[in-house]
Structure 1
Amino acid sequence: MGKRRFAQVATSDDDEDGAPPRPSRNENNHNQRRRKKLHLSDEEEVEEEKLSERSKKKKKKKQQEEEEEEDLEAQPLGEVVRVSGKGRGRTNHYASFEYDGVQYDLEDPVLLVPEQQNQKPYVAIIKDIAQTGEGALMVTGQWFYRPEEAEKKGGGNWQSHDARDLFYSFHRDEVPAESVMHKCVAHFIPQNKEIPNRKQHPGFIVQKVYDTEQRRLFKLTDKDYEENKQHEIDLLVQRLLH
Structure 2
Amino acid sequence: MMNHRRRTQVVTSDDEEETPNPQYTQKRTRLSEQDNSNENKEEQKKEAVSKLPRPVEDAKPIGEPIKSSGKGKKEKRHYESFEFNGIKYTLEDHVLFKPEEKGQKPYAGIIKDITQGNNGNVVVTGQWFYRPEEAEKKSGGNWKSCDTRELFYSFHRDDVHAEAVMHKCVVHYVPQHKQLPKRKDHPGFIVQKVYDNVEKKLWRLGDKGFEDIKQQEIDVLLEKTLQRIGELFDIEADETLNDGEDQMKIKKKLKEKKCFTS
Shared topology, TM-score over 0.5? yes
More helix by share: 1
> Which residue of 2 is the match for residue 145 of structure 1?
130
Return the letter of the residue paired with 2:61: P
Tell me the C-alpha RMSD between the 2 structures.
1.3
**Where in structure 2 are there 5+ consecutive unaligned residues?**
1-49, 228-262
Q: 2:141 aligns with which of 150, 156, 177?
A: 156
TM-score, with structure 2 as normaliser: 0.65
Q: Within 5 A, what are the aligned runs for 1:24-43?
A: none
Return the letter of the residue paired with 1:228: I
2:140 paired with 1:131: no
- Mapped to 1, the partners of 2:196 and 2:151 lie a distance apart of 13
- Mapped to 2, the partners of 1:87 and 1:230 lie a distance apart of 36
2:197 paired with 1:215: no
2:168 paired with 1:183: yes
Deviation for aligned residue 1:158:
1.4
Deviation for aligned residue 1:174:
0.4
Specify the structure having the higher radius of gyration (Cα). Answer: 1
TM-score, with structure 1 as normaliser: 0.70
Deviation for aligned residue 1:79:
1.4
- Mapped to 1, the partners of 2:197 and 2:217 lie a distance apart of 17
2:224 paired with 1:239: yes
Deviation for aligned residue 1:163:
2.2
Deviation for aligned residue 1:93:
0.5
CA shift digits 1:85-112 (9 cap, x unpaired): 0111110010000000110000000000
Return the letter of the residue paired with 2:188: G
Q: 1:74 aligns with which of 52, 59, 65?
A: 59
Provide the aligned length of Structure 1 versus Structure 2: 175
Deviation for aligned residue 1:132:
0.8
> Which residue of 2 is the match for residue 169 of structure 1?
154
Deviation for aligned residue 1:162:
2.4
Structure 1 runs (4+) deviating above 3 angstroms are: none
Deviation for aligned residue 1:191:
1.1
> Which residue of 2 is the match for residue 105 of structure 1?
90
Deviation for aligned residue 1:160:
2.8
- Mapped to 2, the partners of 1:120 and 1:230 lie a distance apart of 29
2:73 paired with 1:88: yes
**Where in structure 1 are there 5+ consecutive unaligned residues?**
1-63
Q: Structure 2 vs 1, CA of residues 82 and 137 (structure 1 numbering), >3 Å: closer, same or farther? A: same
- Mapped to 1, the partners of 2:192 and 2:172 lie a distance apart of 8
